[in-house]
């Protein structure tokens, strides 16, 4: 079925083992889309001639389709963007298959866009009794993103009893691993409407609306939850992510971003997402050496640090991250403030936080990983030392491969980032001025 520049189809036998109560496929009046898995490649190519996006699993979880890899290969022959939603936990073999398919599509400036569906965190099993729990789905989102497959987080249908706190938590847990959020109203099947009416906490206005994305475009009862959608939109845009109300826009944006057709005009623009971070440079004042950790993700020697969590301050973040990475909490050197010699191509010094004991504050521009995701680390820098009895050791082997002490001369040669070198120079310079280390 061609629907607004997209081709909708299905595969396999009717029904999904997850048994989500809100799913429209459970309605006795629902008519399935055409089964593309029964078509020859030539027939699929002909049907896709006038569209840009194919959704080949419109009413079934893709892993439940027998020989889904061969089926997707046939769809990929159309040279169109492919998009589908999932709640599944993915094996490494499945992830590799999807990664290879996305690579194939990217050669022709197309992409595979996968949306991961989460509609509730609390009491989710009331509506999705056999689906993987939300934590598993979030992990799937992370794995796809890391593999270079552009993703969106789907909060569709918008459940009318979701709380603002749940929305905030979902966004906080996922925004670093997707390009945006797709949401829409809750269309009610006969059975689900009866189910909701039995639950006393449900008191919502039910309207009637034509469903354009279903095969026969039926008129169904719907709960729109406009205030919740507006809240989600604001929460998403605060994180510099996109909010979508239809999958066409979501897939086209993902395609443009993954193929780098969206250019960053100004890398320091206020439009670019900023992540608040805290980093602590630990120095031995006798040897003038810095403690560095070798970060597996970046493949570089860096000072301990990371992203803010919850309501903590940048200083609390820096000390917590250090303790998580090296097993001991460093002792801050208070009242030490400095400036970098110069800014670099992808980093610049900014104003320190007012009333803080930050040594300095540095913005660092990052392109992102396999999924291009330009963003900025707004990094508050602190200086600290260790007590003689504190022995650092690796306590986070997933992220940290090694720890070691380096002189400035060694740091300048160990392949770290330029801003790290500039910060170490500034720290030594200010410690000498303050008489805290010898010249």
pLDDT beyond 90 at 316? yes
Domains and CATH numbers, the chain: 6-258 (3.80.30.30), 273-433 (3.90.79.10)
pLDDT band at 150 (very low <50, low <70, confident <90, very high): very high
Question: C-alpha 307: how far from its chain's center?
Answer: 14
Q: What is the pLDDT of residue 217?
A: 78
pLDDT at 264: 58
Query: What are the CA-CA distances from residue 220 to residues 57, 156, 214, 362 (Å)?
Result: 22, 16, 11, 53
Cα angle 73, 75, 80 (rounded to 5 degrees) comes to: 120
**pLDDT tens-digit series, residues 192-237:** 888 888 876 666 788 888 877 777 778 888 999 999 999 999 999 9
C-alpha triplet 305, 366, 330: angle, nearest 5°: 10
What pLDDT sits at residue 270?
87
pLDDT tens-digit map of 414-436: 999 999 999 999 999 999 999 99
CB-CB contact of 111 with 154 (8 Å):
no
pTM: predicted TM-score of the whole model, two decimal places: 0.89
pLDDT at residue 111 greater than cutoff 80: yes
Percent of the chain with pLDDT over 90: 79
Cβ-Cβ contacts under 8 Å for 121 (sequence gap 6 or more): 134, 166, 169, 170
């Amino acid at each position: 079925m061609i629907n607004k520049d997209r081709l909708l189809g299905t595969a396999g036998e009717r029904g999904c083992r997850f048994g989500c109560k809100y799913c429209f496929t459970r309605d006795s009046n629902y008519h399935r889309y055409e089964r593309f898995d029964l078509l020859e490649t030539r027939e699929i190519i002909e049907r896709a001639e006038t569209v840009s996006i194919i959704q080949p699993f419109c009413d079934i979880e893709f892993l439940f389709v027998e020989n889904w890899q061969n089926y997707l290969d046939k769809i990929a022959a159309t040279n169109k963007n492919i998009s589908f939603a999932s709640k599944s936990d993915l094996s490494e073999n499945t992830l590799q298959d999807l990664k290879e398919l996305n690579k194939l599509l990217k050669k022709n400036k197309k992409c595979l866009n996968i949306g991961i569906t989460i509609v509730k965190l609390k009491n989710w099993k009331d509506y999705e009794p056999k689906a993987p729990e939300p934590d598993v789905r979030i992990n799937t989102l992370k794995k796809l993103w890391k593999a270079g497959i552009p993703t969106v987080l789907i909060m569709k249908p918008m459940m009318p009893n979701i709380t603002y706190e749940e929305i905030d938590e979902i966004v906080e847990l996922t925004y670093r691993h997707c390009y945006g959020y797709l949401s829409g109203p809750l269309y009610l099947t006969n059975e689900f409407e009866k189910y909701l009416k039995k639950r006393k906490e449900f008191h919502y206005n039910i309207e009637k609306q034509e469903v354009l994305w279903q095969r026969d475009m039926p008129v169904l009862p719907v709960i729109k939850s406009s205030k919740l959608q507006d809240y989600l939109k604001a929460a998403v845009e605060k994180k510099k992510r996109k909010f979508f109300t239809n999958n066409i826009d979501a897939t086209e944006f993902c395609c443009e971003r993954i193929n780098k057709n969206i250019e960053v005009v100004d890398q320091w623009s206020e439009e670019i997402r900023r992540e608040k971070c805290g980093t602590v440079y630990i120095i031995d004042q006798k040897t003038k050496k810095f403690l560095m950790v070798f970060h597996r993700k970046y493949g570089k020697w860096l000072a301990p640090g990371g992203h803010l969590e919850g309501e903590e301050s940048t200083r609390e973040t820096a000390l917590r991250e250090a303790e998580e990475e090296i097993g001991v909490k460093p002792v801050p050197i208070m009242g030490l403030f400095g400036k970098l010699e110069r800014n670099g191509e992808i980093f610049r010094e900014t104003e320190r936080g007012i009333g803080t004991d930050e040594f300095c504050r540095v913005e660092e521009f990052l392109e992102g990983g396999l999924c291009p995701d330009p963003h900025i680390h707004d990094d508050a820098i602190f200086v600290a030392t260790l007590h003689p009895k504190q022995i650092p050791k690796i306590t986070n082997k997933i992220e940290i491969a090694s720890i070691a002490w380096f002189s400035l001369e060694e740091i300048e040669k160990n392949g770290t980032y330029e801003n790290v070198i500039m910060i170490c120079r500034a720290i030594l310079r200010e410690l000498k001025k303050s008489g805290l280390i010898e010249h």
